[in-house]
Amino acid sequence: MESAHSSRSFLSVRGNRRRLRALGLVCMLFPVACAAQSWTLAWSDEFNVAAGSPINSSNWQYDTGILNVNNEVEYYCAPGSSTPPCVSAAPNAYIDGNGHLIIQAIKINSSVTPNSGSWTSARLNTGKNLRNFQFGRLESSISLPVGAGLWPAFWALGYNIGGVGWPASGEMDFMENVPASGGLGPNAFRSTIHGGNSSSSCYCGENGLGQSYTFPIKDHSGSSVTAFHSYGAIWSTNMVQFYVDDPSNVFLVRTVNDLPAGFTWDFNRPFFLLLNLAVGGTGSWPGPADGNTPNPAVMTVDYVRWYKPSAVAGPTMSAAPISVESGGAGSAMLSLNSTNGTGRVYLSCTTTAPKATCSINSGDALNNYTVDFGKTGRGSATVKLTTIANTPGLPRGGSGNGTSPGNYAVTVSSYTVSNTSGNPDSVLSIPLTIN
């Protein structure tokens, strides 16, 4: 053990004080560099109007009819429609006068044949340039119905779906719930991203990049989806963070690095929102409704909100140079410093070394390519470089089919939750020597 008064300890303290003074000067000159993350409400629908008032047509429109998707049985009706089986006096979407939007599914007959129109329901969206959103925090507080066949959802689709189709448009599911027969039940929901080139070449459907969340028994809002819970996502360049009830309660993080090989990230563009209550038929995810399914089945929406983030600076980063033999692998420890409360950052890396790859492992429990500054100002990650050996027999330094010896660089880029430009918020160039 070193003495508390050794010269090494004294110099370390002096160095720390210098860094703290320098950081304080930066904070005075550039307050955003040392500011914690905050959110500003930019748009919302609170549904705080009298009972029977029209649903705000500047925010919402309706998908109608039988959509022939997912082996569902519902016929979607717009409020006021009297086209059979819709009944204008029994709307499937309406304002209840208590600050809620009601979406209800009503049974018409007992058919469980897909696309049979045996239930009516409603599907609202903000598309066709009513309200498109790009990045920020999207959230809705909802009480869900439970029962066989029921499939409520709060989700988003890429605004360009009309041109590129699904799944190339991208899809973000903030919340989906189906019965226990579909793997969820009344105490759980699922969040997922879907994308890809086509329905046969995608990370979509059963291959979507998602995860279920089960409410704790002693959850303060209630352990059932029938209680009001807020479902949302913090969405930024190259990263989506799904949370429930509080933006600090993130349970799923997806980044561009999670995509299977051969696919592109479909989420750095505007999206529109959807709210709907589907009813499954034979072969659907929730399965068919039965005699115990509530009729009507009622989904109650308290609000839908979009928040914009305050600007925060990217973390400062440092790492020692990397030196590695051609054909081998090397690494460096990346140290990151930010302001406590600035949230999670996404990290990417590239290298100028030919036929070499780099990767990042932060040890973050939710995603190895992210570091969370939500409750701390310090973080770390391992930057790993992997090279390919030259063909045996070629002279040292020859132009073989591997990574040639020389001096190169590894570049690490960070992206904060306030990033909207696609340009890194901070960058570090790590010297690299291939021997």
| pLDDT value of position 128 | 84
Amino acid at 319: A
In a domain, 83, yes or no: yes
Q: Residue 382: its pLDDT value, please?
A: 98
**Is the link from the previous residue into 167 a cis peptide, with omega within 30 of 0?**
yes
pLDDT at 401: 79
Which of 309, 327, 347 is a domain's end point?
309
* Residue 79 falls inside a structural domain: yes
The segments of the chain whose pLDDT lies below 70 read 1-34, 391-400
How far is it, in rounded angstroms, from Cα 66 to Cα 358?
48
Three-state SS at 39: strand
Tell me the three-class secondary structure of 147-215, residue by residue: CCCEEEEEEEEECCHHHHCCCCCCEEEEEECCCHHHCCCCCEEEEEEEEEEECCEEECHHHCEEEEEEC
Same domain, 259 and 365: no
- The predicted structure's pLDDT at residue 35: 74
CATH number of the structural domain spanning residue 348:
2.60.40.10
Residue where a domain stops, chosen among 309, 324, 358:
309
Q: Is residue 345 part of a domain?
A: yes
189 and 274: one domain?
A: yes
pLDDT attached to residue 99:
98
Distance CA 50, CA 95 (A): 7
Q: What is the pTM (predicted TM-score) of this model?
A: 0.90
**Count: domains in the chain:** 2
The answer to whether residue 227 is domain-embedded is: yes
Residues 6+ apart with CB under 8 A from 198: 165, 167, 168
Residue 82 lies in a domain: yes
Residue 19 covered by a domain: no
Range(s) of the domain holding residue 168: 40-309
Decide if 194 is inside a domain.
yes
